[in-house]
Amino acid sequence: MDADQDSSRQAIAASNLTAEAVNALSSDAYGDISFDELPVLKNLLKVFFSDQPWTAHHETQLADLVGDVGGYWTHTLSNGATLQHGMVDGRYLLSISGGEAEQHGLFNRLFTGPIVPEATPNPRHIRFPLGGAPGPSVFYQRGDEDLDPRIERLFEDPEVTDVLVAPDFVAVGLTRAELWESSIDRLLEEVTTAFQVRGEAPESDAPTRDELVSANDASIASGRLSS
């Protein structure tokens, strides 16, 4: 619906600030939600604070569920995002703007191994530098056949959606950005073990990085894949 809001929503998930945002919303307006309706509210907020699409249907669902809360509130979250919600033209509206993905829990720490993970513009993806010279890359996604065994091992994690392999890095995408908090150590170990030979990318007939630029740009826009 709104590209700027989508970026802010994703930043909250990437910064692990969903609980902070939900607590602010609940203290203002959600006290009268019935016990039976709480799972619906939880699922809607889970979609809002993620990289999943937030549609007009979701917006209407939330407005109908919350009803008339009799006020309007503004909160500044820890990453600088402005969270606003309340009655607008007689209807409940939730919105967010600004803020950046901090991912402080992931990257503001000491990695002692040979590979130090790096953030990417898409919070669902993390880059693992391998060293070596840059070169053509190979893109894999779940469901591809005849995979390199090293890639197959990465896809054994059910949350891994895609992998981009080049001589100097491996980039891995998960279904949701917030899953990296519990997955990064495991996948870092897997990448380190599988790609310990520097400068070697798996052989494949899959498209190279250049051939995938247009597809990746379209994927970023649709919230599905990027590198």
**pLDDT at position 59 over 50:** yes
User: If DSSP codes are grouped into helix, strand and coil, which group holds residue 138?
Assistant: strand
Is the CB of residue 227 less than 8 Å from the CB of residue 120? yes
Break the chain into its structural domains and give their ranges.
3-97, 104-222
**pLDDT at position 163 over 60:** yes
In Å, how far are 139, 150, 160, 178, 208 from 205, measured between CA atoms? 10, 16, 21, 32, 9
- Rounded to the nearest 10°, the torsion over CA 107, 108, 113, 117 is 20
Q: Which tens digits make up the pLDDT trace of 86-136?
A: 999 999 999 999 887 655 556 766 777 888 898 876 778 999 999 878 888
- Report residue 60's pLDDT band, with 50, 70 and 90 as the boundaries: very high
Q: Bigger pLDDT: 153 or 101?
A: 153
Is the CB of residue 164 less than 8 Å from the CB of residue 209? yes
- Report residue 32's pLDDT band, with 50, 70 and 90 as the boundaries: confident
Q: Which residue has the tokens 């503001």?
A: 108
Q: Which residue has the tokens 């950046």?
A: 100
**pLDDT at position 204 over 80:** no
Phi and psi, residue 97, nearest 5°: -145, 160
The CATH number assigned to the domain with range 104-222 reads 3.30.1370.70
Which residue from 190, 122, 200 is spatially nearest to 165, judged by alpha carbons?
200
In Å, how far are 18, 47, 60, 103, 113 from 40, measured between CA atoms? 16, 11, 13, 28, 43
Token pair recorded at residue 185? 């150590």
- Rounded to the nearest 10°, the torsion over CA 23, 26, 31, 33 is -120
Token pair recorded at residue 94? 């939730």
Radius of gyration of the chain (CA): 20
Q: Bigger pLDDT: 193 or 100?
A: 193
**pLDDT at position 178 over 50:** yes
- Report residue 83's pLDDT band, with 50, 70 and 90 as the boundaries: very high
Q: Which tens digits make up the pLDDT trace of 126-141?
A: 999 998 788 888 999 9
pLDDT (0 to 100) of residue 101: 63
Which residue from 100, 88, 97, 94 is spatially nearest to 45, judged by alpha carbons?
94
